[in-house]
Amino acid sequence: MAELTSHPAHPPALVRTMEFRIIGFDANWLRARWKIMGSGKLVVPSFAGKGRAEGLWQTTCFELFLHQPGSPAYTEINLSPSERWNVYDFSARREGMHERPMPREPECTMRLGTDMAIFDAAIPAAGLPQTPWKCGIAAVIEEEGGVKSYWALSHTGDAPDFHDPACFLEEVAAPGAP
């Protein structure tokens, strides 16, 4: 389990904590979970059906950054509670961005309680770069009233920057057997 922190320049309204964990990783799927405590004012994008979309980060969305050590390249995965998603490859920090082909669409579900929300994602392993990775874990959280907070393993600058390699802290090894 990894604890995410909000960027100090963008504090949340009610959200108190956010946790992330990989709940499964085999030859077929990478399964990830974000747990939000203090979700009473969470803005959840309306169901839009599966499909690629741009600009998911403009409201509540969940992100993974997968970096293979020794290379400046990395992959960014954007996942929305609306079930929209996108995956991008970068040749270096914020350079050479292009959509990464995926063999099938990720599966996403959001469960909301009165004070807790769980976002689960299953990402096709065949569409991911080869392991091992240094993983950046992030989320943009929008709450009622337009309050946005930016959550990550680490923040290094005056503004949120999920693409900062200093935020790629979680080590992920090869998947287990199915």
Tens of pLDDT, residue by residue over 109-161, are 999 999 999 999 999 999 999 889 999 999 999 999 999 999 999 999 999 99
* Residues 6 or more apart whose Cβ sits within 8 Å of residue 95: none
| Predicted TM-score of the model (pTM) | 0.95
pLDDT at 124: 97
**Could you tell me which of 82, 167, 175 has the C-alpha nearest to residue 128?**
175
Structural domains for the chain: 2-172 (2.60.40.1190)
DSSP H helical ranges for the chain: none
pLDDT band at 92 (very low <50, low <70, confident <90, very high): very high
* Residues 6 or more apart whose Cβ sits within 8 Å of residue 77: 63, 64, 65, 66, 85, 86, 87, 106, 123
Residue 177 scores a pLDDT above 60: no
* Residues 6 or more apart whose Cβ sits within 8 Å of residue 132: 68, 69, 171, 172, 173, 174
pLDDT at 176: 63
The residue to which tokens 């995926």 are assigned: 102
Structure tokens at 83: 């079930």
pLDDT at 139: 98
| Tens digits of residue pLDDT in 22-71 | 999 999 999 999 999 999 999 999 999 999 999 999 999 999 999 988 99
pLDDT at 43: 97
pLDDT at 175: 75
pLDDT at 174: 74
